[in-house]
Structure 1
C-alpha cells in the first residue's frame, strides 16, 4: 500500500511501516519511549506491536481505562504524572496504540508535555484509522462536550496496520464505516455506493482512499478556517446526539459512528430544505443508514436537549449553529445556518 505524505509526516501502511518507525527512533536517538494503551489494546494489540517493532531502547507502557468517558483532562493529568515519575524529558517519544480516544488524548498529552514532545499514532480501530489519528487534531472532552480542549499538533508518523481490525467488534467496524460514508458523500460517491451495495467490501482500499481524501483537505486548510469544515458533515447534529446519549443515565450510549450516521440523515434533510439537495437522495441516505445501523429511538422530549448541546459545537460563531450541507453528492457548502424549528423537523424526519 502506497505511503501518503502529509505536510510534516507520512502515513505508512502494513508491516513495512514498523521499519519506518525503527528508522525514526534510530535517527532521532530518543532518550526514552512510552507507549500509551488502554485495557483492550494492551491485551490485544500490544503483543503484535512488540513483535514487529525492533528497537534496543527500553519501552515503558502507560495504561489508561478504555472508553470515551475517560477522554478528559483528569486522565491526561494521570499520564503526565506517570511520564514525569518515569523520567520523561523533551527527547522522549510517545507512541499511541489504540482507537480515537487514545490517539486524540495521547497526541494532546505529547504536544503539551514540557511544551511538546514527539509522538507517533498507531490507530487500531477503523474510526481512528480513517479519521481521528490523521490531520493533526488532538484533544479531550469537557464533560460530555466533544473535543473542547485541544491543540493542532502533527505526529512524526502514522502507522496503519489493518491487522488490528481483527481485535475490534463488528459494531466498532460499523462505527468507523460512518466516516468512510462521510468521505463518500462529500468527495467520492463510489465509497458510499460500495458500502451500501456490498457486504464484502475491501476495507483496506476504503481506508487508503479515505485517508487520501482527508489528507488532501487538511493540506488545503490545516487549521479548519474554511474547507476543512467539510469533514464535519453529519457531525453537528451527530455530536449533539452522541453527547446527549452519553450524559443521559436512562439512555444506552451509542458509538460515535452511529451518532454521525444519524447526523448525516438529519443534515441531508436540512440540505434538501435549505439548498437544492434532491429529496430522492435524502430518502436514499436514510434507507442506507438504517439498513446499516438500525434505528435509534429519539423521543420528542430528547430533541431540545440535543439542540442545547449542539450550541457548544466548535464551528459555531456568535451563538449560531453552523452546518456543512450538500447541494449534491460531492458538492458541499460550509457555514450554513438552520432555524431550530428546521433542526427539530430534521430529527423528527429521522425518527419517522
Structure 2
C-alpha cells in the first residue's frame, strides 16, 4: 500500500510501517519506549507487534482495562503516574497499540506529559484504522459525554497493520465499517457504491478500501486541522449518534452500543433530516436507510429515550454559541455543514427510524 502523507506525519502500511519504526526507535533518539495497550490488545496484538520490532531499547508495557468507560481523566492520572515512576522524560515516546480508546487516550496522555512527548498510533481495530488514529484529535470523555476534554496534535506517524483485523470480532468490524460508509456518503459516491455491495468484497478489497477511507479522511483534515470549516463534514451522523452512544453508555437499563452502531443510527436519522430540509432526495434517503438497516441491528427507542438523547445534544462539542450544529447531506457524496434543526424534526426522524 502506498504511504499517505498527512500534514506533519505519514500513514504507513504493513512492512513499510515496521521498517519506519525500526529506523527511528534508537537509544540515541529516545530515552524510554512505552507501549500502551488494553487487556485485549495485550493478548491478541502485542505478541505479533513485538515480533516485528528489531530494536535494542528497553520496552515498558502499560496495560489498561478495555472499554469506553475507562477513557477518562482517572485513567490518565494512573498512566501519568506510571510514566513518572518508570522514568519517563521529555525524550520518551509512547506507542499506542489498540483501538480508538487507546489512540484517543494515549495521544492525549503523550500531548500533556512533560508538556508533550512523541507518540505513534498503531491502530488494531477497523474503527481506529480509518477514523480514530487519523487526524490528530486526542482526548477523553467527561462522565458519559464523549470527547469533552482533549487537544488537537498530530502523531509522529500512524502504522496500519491489517493483520490485526484477523482476530477482530464481527461486531467490531461492523463498527469500523460505519465510518467507512460515512466517508463515502460525505465525500465520494463511487466509494459509497463500492462499499454497499458487501457480499462481493474480498480480503484484498478490504485493504484497498481501508486505504481509500484514510485518503478521504486525510484529504479533509489536511485542509482544516482545527475544524473551522470542511472538517465538520466528518461529523455527519455524529451529532445524534454521539448523543445516542452517551445515553446508552450511562443508562443501566440499556445495552451499550459500539461507536459505529450508534453512528449508523445517527446517519439514518440525519439523512432523514437532510431529506426533510430539502437537501437530499427521498430516493437517496431510502437507499441510505435500507443499506444501513441491512448491516446494523435495529435499536428500540421510546419517547423518554428520545427526549433524553435530544437533551444531551446541548453538550455536543461541535455546538457554537449554544446552537446545535449538524453536518447534513445535500446528495450522496457531498455534505453541507453548520445546519440547524428543530427538535420537532428530530422527533420525526426517530419516528421514521422506528418505521
Deviations 1:169-226 (A, max 9, x none): 0000000000000001011122322222232422111110011011111110000011
Native 8 Å contact 1:275 1:326 kept in 2 = no
Corresponding residue for residue 266 of structure 2: 263
- For the Cα contact (< 8 Å) 2:27–2:57, is it kept in 1? no
8 A contact 2:71–2:140 mirrored in 1: yes
RMSD: 1.0
State the 4+ residue runs in structure 1 displaced beyond 6 angstroms: none
Is residue 306 of structure 1 aligned with residue 309 of structure 2?
Answer: yes
Distance in 1 between the 2:120 and 2:28 partners?
A: 13
Written as runs of structure 1 = structure 2, the 5 A alignment for 1:330-341 is: 330-341=333-344
1:39 and 1:332 map into 2 onto residues whose CA distance is 38
Q: Which residue of 1 aligns with 2:164?
A: 164
Task: Specify every segment of 5 or more residues in structure 2 that has no aligned partner in the other structure, as ranges.
Answer: none
Select which of 287, 291, 305 maps to 1:288. Answer: 291
Aligned partner of 1:105 in structure 2 is 105
Q: Per-residue displacement from partner, 1:239-278 (whole Å, max 9, x unpaired)?
A: 0111111111000011100000000000001101113310
Report deviation, 1:236: 0.3
Task: Return the alpha-carbon distance in structure 2 between the equivalents of residues 339 and 73 of structure 1.
Answer: 34
TM-score (normalizing by structure 2): 0.97
Q: 1:28 to 1:290 in 2, by over 3 A?
A: farther
Cα distance in 1 for residues equivalent to 2:23 and 2:211: 23
Shift of 1:335: 0.3
Between the aligned partners of 1:13 and 1:199, the Cα distance in structure 2 is: 25
For this pair of structures, how many residues does the alignment match? 352
Matched, 1:217 2:184: no
Matches of 2:194 and 2:333, distance apart in 1:
15
* Runs of at least 5 residues in structure 1 that lack an aligned partner in the other structure: none
1:83 match:
83
User: 8 Å contact 1:33–1:58 — kept in the other structure?
Assistant: yes
Shift of 1:27: 8.7
**Is the contact made by 2:281 and 2:331 (CA closer than 8 Å) also made in structure 1?**
yes
Do 1:32 and 1:58's aligned partners in 2 also have CA atoms closer than 8 Å?
A: yes
Give the 3-state SS of the residue equivalent to 2:288 in structure 1: helix
CA contact (8 A) 1:245 1:253 kept: yes
Per the alignment, residue 316 of structure 1 pairs with 319
Once the two structures are superposed, what CA deviation does each residue of 1:132-177 show, in whole Å capped at 9, x if it has no partner? 0000000000011000000011111100000001121000000000
Which residue does the alignment assign to 1:347? 350
Deviations 1:296-330 (A, max 9, x none): 11112211100111111111112211100111112
CA distance in 1, matches of 2:28, 2:253: 50
Using the alignment, how far apart are the partners of 1:150 and 1:200 within structure 2? Answer: 39
* TM-score normalized by the length of structure 1: 0.98
Give the Cα–Cα distance (whole angstroms) in 2 for the partners of residues 226 and 205 of structure 1: 28
What residue is the counterpart of 1:33 in the other structure? 33
Matches within 5 A, 1:242-253: 242-253=245-256
